[in-house]
A and B are shown apart, each in its own frame.
Chain A
Amino acid sequence: MSDATEVIRASGLAKRYPPRVDALADVSLVVHRGEFVAILGPSGAGKTTLFRCLTGLTRPDAGAVNVRGHEVSALRGRALRTARREVALIFQQFNLVRRLSALQNVLVGRLADAPTWRVLARRFSRADREHALRCLDTVGLREKADTRADQLSGGQQQRVAIARALAQDARVILADEPVASLDPESAATVLECLRTAVATGVAVVASLHQVPYACAYADRIVALRDGRVVRDVHAAGIDPRTLEHIYGKNGGPAA
């Protein structure tokens, strides 16, 4: 790695799903620790494929993904699992285990490190439970620790998912459309929580649909179109209108 603060380096990523056009044509991206990068772009721009490549779920046809020294794009099996511990995922649909409490869902972030017998017996160590409680506290949901996941609102569920990512001690959080199914108020709270994570040194890469959110919460904005990076700019002081043209006339961002 060329720079000690670099956590993700993706270079020359290409992915083609025949017979369709290229999902990714040529994408390069560098993310540093403590940085919040928003990925913008219309549907079909390659955002989801980019996320799948960054996590090793999809193997690029060309190019490489390096996450904290792990060559994710070349790993398989156990080595890939080890690399994944460094990266936490946030999903549009939250993906909590419905019948587990908020705290237990946060403990999912401790699964990889916990001994197997503890997981089978559902008896996590005191240190793990305290760590999980602190993570819930960070997202402002300590008092919901014992509430079942399916009893929480969408915004609360997404904050529990962020706590799960924090409990994992990941250095990178990849969030694919984290606020796309939330109301504006919940979306703002969730993005605040991601900002809090960034303040602790975690790097966040989030795909967002709305330009104003990206401008308000991200440090950098990377705009994709047709599988290519068309803008890579600092969010501070940017005029939202200069970004909106990347969506074109028809594919405007959902309001």
Chain B
Amino acid sequence: MKRVRFVLAVVLLAAFYAASWHLAKVEPGKLLTGLPKMAGWATKAWPPATDELPILLQRTAETIAMAAIGTTAAALLALPVCVLAARNVTPSMAVYYPARWFLNALRGVDSFVFALLFVAAVGLGPFAGVLGIALHTWGSTAKLWAEAIENIPPGPLEAAAATGASRVKVLAFALFPDVAPNMASVGLFWWEFNVRASTVLGVVGAGGIGQELKNSMDLLLFPRLLTIIVLILVTVTVIDQASAWLRRRLE
């Protein structure tokens, strides 16, 4: 019986990968012929173009700003919802489930997809990116915060509630200090994540360095492309390190 199950599992797994291989149209031959082409671009890309550095730096700043505004807006929106979506402090299960569904819906749609919709609604530019980041991050942050709240010990809340204090006071004074470092850490993580994510938002026309990346690729301006890739790598590394350092300090 055990043996039959094992064989069956192997067969199913093999079928799954065979189907996936076919659907993903994997053709290693194409990669082999394509590699020399990429190598040719790499040689053409050297030396990187520096003449447009000021505008590229401005675009990089735009990307960081999009992430900062989008993440902050998401955090402000997440604050009330995470209380509704945490099982141990929600006012009622009738609010808890809709809050969870709502957050899952926001989380299920990538900021890239949201940005695509907002470009159509509010036009090209970084604002569409900000809105995209804000909506997706709202769902993700609130869910993680709700989980942080669910993990705190119930005793101190019970003790504070037993003094006859209202719910808002109990949450603000006895719950918030306990979860604040964790919440700040989650917020920083999402800011860092969004800086990385928003480097590509420009591809759909939502502003930032990604837009320059797409333009350069479309026009085959390889030295400019190289400059942009270096800028992205440096920015993402610096932000990652800064965020990691800040999060360590919170613990």
Contacts and interface: CB of A to CB of B under 8 A. Distances in A.
B163 A95 contact: no
Contacts of B181: 99
A55 B172 contact: no
Interface stretch (A13-21, A111-119, A181-189): A111-119
A108 interface: yes
A119 B163 contact: no
Contacts of B159: 89, 91, 95-96, 108, 161, 164
A93 B166 contact: no
Given A99-B177, A116-B168, A168 B163 contact: yes
A97 B163 contact: no
B36 interface: no
B160 to A, nearest CB: 5
A109 B165 CA distance: 9
Interface in A100-131: 100, 104, 107-109, 111-112, 114, 116, 119-120, 122
Interface in B174-228: 174, 177-178, 180-181
A87 B159 CA distance: 11
A85 interface: yes
- Looking at A87, A99, A107, A111, which has the most chain B CB atoms within 10 Å of its CB? A111
A82 interface: yes
Interface string A33-61: 00000000000000000000001000000
Nearest to B175: A97
B169 A111 contact: yes
B178 A98 contact: yes
Nearest to A90: B159
A234 interface: no
Interface in B38-73: none
A112 B165 contact: yes
A56 to B, nearest CB: 10
B130 interface: no
Contacts of B174: 97, 108
A85 B155 contact: no
A122 B169 CA distance: 10
Interface residues of A, number: 32
Nearest to A93: B155
B145 to A, nearest CB: 16
A83 B158 CA distance: 16
A84 interface: yes
A85 B169 contact: no
Interface in A154-172: 161, 164, 168
A81 B164 contact: yes
B172 A112 contact: no
A82 B165 CA distance: 9
A111 B155 contact: no
A182 to B, nearest CB: 16
Nearest to A78: B166
A97 B170 contact: no
B156 interface: yes
Given A100-B177, A108-B173, A85 B156 contact: no
B26 interface: no
A88 interface: yes
A116 B169 contact: yes
A152 B160 CA distance: 19
A111 B158 contact: no
Contact of A120 (B155, B160, B172, B177): B172
- Looking at B168, B172, B180, which has the most chain A CB atoms within 10 Å of its CB? B172
Contacts of A98: 156, 178
Interface string A69-87: 0000000000001111101
Q: Please list the 4 inter-chain residue pairs (A to B) with the smallest Cβ-Cβ separation, ordered nearest first.
A: A111-B165, A95-B155, A85-B164, A95-B159
18 contacts: A81-B166, A84-B162, A84-B163, A85-B164, A91-B158, A94-B155, A95-B159, A97-B156, A97-B160, A97-B178, A98-B178, A100-B177, A108-B160, A108-B163, A112-B164, A116-B166, A116-B169, A119-B165
Given A87-B162, A114-B169, 4 more contacts: A91-B158, A96-B156, A119-B172, A161-B159
